A = this chain, B = another copy of it.
Amino acid sequence: MKNDLQRSYDLKRKELETVCRSNGLALTIQRRAIFDALASRTDHPTVDQVYEDISEKLKGVSRTTVYRVLETFVSIGVATKISNPESKARFDADTKRHHHLTCIACGKVLDLHDPTLDNLVPREGKIPDFDILDYSITFTGICSGCRKKPLNKH
């Protein structure tokens, strides 16, 4: 008999199959392995961590493939990318608490100043053992400029 963890794992695997099908994507062993590796950990691994994980099982995978497949997963919605889309450092001279609107099409980052969002506190007991110093909300979506033009593929 399967436990809950195992069951949800199967469910996710099934989901991958469904989503790939509906997007006309082949269900390759690389994609399955990368998905399994990603889904079996909750620590938001880097590309190389995923690569390490699957290299053990899949002899001869390419790092390039891991990069590609993870981006594919993001585009079909079975994974998310933590932090900004380009994963390159961006700086801001405004150190007052404020939030960001990130366009998923062009990568532009706009500021959002809204005092109603400046005093959020996670519900007591929900926080793992962690001292919170600050926070920032990243809203993702489409900016006005990109809404007008047709989506240019990547």
Q: Does A27 contact B (CB under 8 A)?
A: no
Q: Does A110 contact B (CB under 8 A)?
A: yes
The majority secondary structure among interface residues of chain A is: mixed
Number of copies: 2
Check B122–A120 contact: CB distance below 8 A: no
For chain A, the count of residues having a C-beta within 8 Å of the partner chain is 68
- Known contacts A42-B94, A42-B111, A114-B122; decide if A141 and B130 are in contact (CB<8 Å): yes
User: Which residues of chain B are within 8 angstroms of A30 by Cβ–Cβ distance?
Assistant: none
Residues of A within 8 A of B (CB): 12, 35, 38-39, 42-47, 50, 70, 73-74, 77-84, 87-95, 99-101, 103-104, 108-114, 116-117, 120, 122-123, 126-144, 147
